[in-house]
């Protein structure tokens, strides 16, 4: 971390209808890379991501509040680095849109995570268009995002599975409310997201690919209309669509069914992720009412960010004081993990993903006076871009030719 020349990369400007809001706080000692010695098998999954700067250019931005206490504030950044302007529209509370254009070199993805009511199961599902972690997309020069799409499904706990098969543009169909990636399908029903999974898993050193089939329903408790640019140039946009959601999981293969609570967001960008970021740490937690998201990291230009947002029961975000930093033990791949906690201490309950460049964990922590369980992730894009990791990726991520 370049503590000798820290800089905040300008104010976060918000976008209507595709994102979220936050405060830039103390981002010192965000954490850097420790070269890994690669003693574990290649990981069990890939990821979703973030950073923060709220996006500009919103249309119809004056029809409803999107950040409590910050609406219509002048553009710019206050001396303490907090977010001071957002925009959004009540008409944007309509859920995901799957047919938006993706520029060459760009990406978009929709991310879901969830924990079962009994705490025995977890999952992440990520629908990638222009897959940011694809070695094939990177190798191709990233001229055609829709030629590199995948549905990443990770089931944690008993009967764990992991799938991420890349598919070409001939296997991808989409309109406003539907997204077909190979045999799997994602549909927005107006009040719920329904995911039909028809995939096969991939394990190292085992050629047999088990079927992964079933349905997942994501029912948001509320929808948030505000999106945020994660960098001053607005090349990377984050939208926490549903900070809280009910999850219904009904898998035929493996035979696992459960209900729980989850989270749903969307990211999009106009340049490769490794151009925009070196590292970041993200976490989300459900409170007794609403939810909290904490984000911090280092951008590609060396500027740092650290922010916390609280979402009310209505999904509207509110700037929050950034809790103290809480260091976590490094993963087996020596990825440095970091989160936030009232008391500066947090405990890893489970490490869901342990990869050469990414770790996702379930934590026990304390935020704003409440004991909470959070989902946390740490990412190092310098590791991702290394020749060794690029060599390893295809062994975990098969590619269909048609």
For residues 137 and 144, give the distance between their C-alpha atoms in angstroms, rounded to a whole number.
8
- Give the pLDDT of residue 319: 82
For residues 52 and 378, give the distance between their C-alpha atoms in angstroms, rounded to a whole number.
15
10-residue mean pLDDT series, the chain (402 residues): 37 43 34 32 33 35 40 32 36 78 96 97 98 94 96 96 96 97 97 97 87 98 88 88 97 98 96 94 96 92 90 91 94 94 96 94 97 96 93 90 77
For residues 402 and 399, give the distance between their C-alpha atoms in angstroms, rounded to a whole number.
9
Tell me the residue length of the chain: 402
Q: How many Cβ atoms are within 10 Å of 117's Cβ, its own excluded? A: 11
Cβ atoms of 127 and 109 closer than 8 Å:
yes
Cβ atoms of 76 and 11 closer than 8 Å:
yes
For residues 39 and 20, give the distance between their C-alpha atoms in angstroms, rounded to a whole number.
38
Give exposure, 19-36, as e/b (b: 16+ Cβ within 10 Å): bbbbbbbebeebbebeeb
> How many Cα atoms occupy the beta-carbon half-sphere of 166 within 13 Å?
24
For residues 305 and 12, give the distance between their C-alpha atoms in angstroms, rounded to a whole number.
10
The answer to whether the pTM exceeds 0.85 is no
For residues 137 and 235, give the distance between their C-alpha atoms in angstroms, rounded to a whole number.
18
């Amino acid at each position: 971390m370049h503590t000798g020349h820290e800089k905040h990369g300008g104010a976060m400007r918000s976008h209507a209808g595709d994102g979220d809001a936050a405060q830039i706080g103390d981002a010192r000692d965000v954490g850097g890379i420790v070269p890994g010695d690669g003693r574990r098998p290649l990981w069990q999954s890939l990821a979703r991501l973030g950073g923060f700067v709220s996006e500009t250019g919103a249309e119809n931005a004056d029809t409803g509040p999107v950040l409590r206490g910050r609406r219509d504030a002048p553009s710019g950044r206050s001396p303490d680095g907090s977010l001071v302007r957002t925009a959004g529209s009540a008409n944007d509370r309509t859920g995901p849109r799957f047919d938006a254009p993706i520029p060459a070199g760009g990406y978009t993805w929709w991310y879901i995570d969830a924990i079962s009511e009994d705490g025995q199961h977890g999952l992440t599902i990520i629908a990638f268009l222009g897959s940011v972690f694809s070695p094939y997309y990177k190798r191709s020069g990233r001229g055609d995002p829709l030629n590199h799409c995948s549905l990443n499904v990770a089931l944690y706990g008993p009967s764990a599975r992991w799938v991420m098969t890349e598919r070409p543009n001939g296997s991808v169909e989409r309109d406003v409310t539907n997204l077909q990636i190979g045999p799997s399908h994602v549909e927005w029903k107006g009040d719920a997201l329904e995911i039909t999974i028809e995939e096969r898993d991939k394990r190292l050193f085992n050629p047999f690919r088990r079927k992964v089939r079933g349905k997942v329903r994501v029912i948001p408790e509320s929808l948030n209309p505000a999106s945020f640019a994660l960098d001053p140039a607005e090349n990377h946009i984050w939208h926490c669509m549903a900070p809280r959601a009910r999850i219904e999981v009904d898998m035929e293969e493996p035979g696992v069914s459960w209900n729980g609570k989850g989270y749903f967001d969307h990211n999009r960008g106009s340049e490769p992720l490794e151009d925009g970021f070196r590292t970041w740490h993200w976490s989300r937690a459900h409170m007794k009412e609403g939810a909290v998201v904490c984000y911090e990291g280092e951008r590609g230009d060396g500027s740092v960010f650290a922010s916390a947002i609280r979402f009310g029961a209505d999904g509207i975000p509110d700037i929050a004081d950034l809790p103290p930093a809480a260091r976590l033990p490094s993963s087996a791949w020596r990825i440095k993990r970091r989160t936030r906690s009232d008391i500066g201490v947090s405990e890893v309950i489970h490490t869901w993903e342990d990869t050469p460049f990414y770790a996702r964990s379930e934590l026990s922590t304390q935020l704003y006076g409440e004991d909470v369980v959070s989902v946390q992730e740490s990412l190092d894009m310098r590791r991702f871009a290394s020749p060794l990791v690029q060599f390893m990726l295809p062994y975990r991520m098969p590619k269909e030719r048609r």
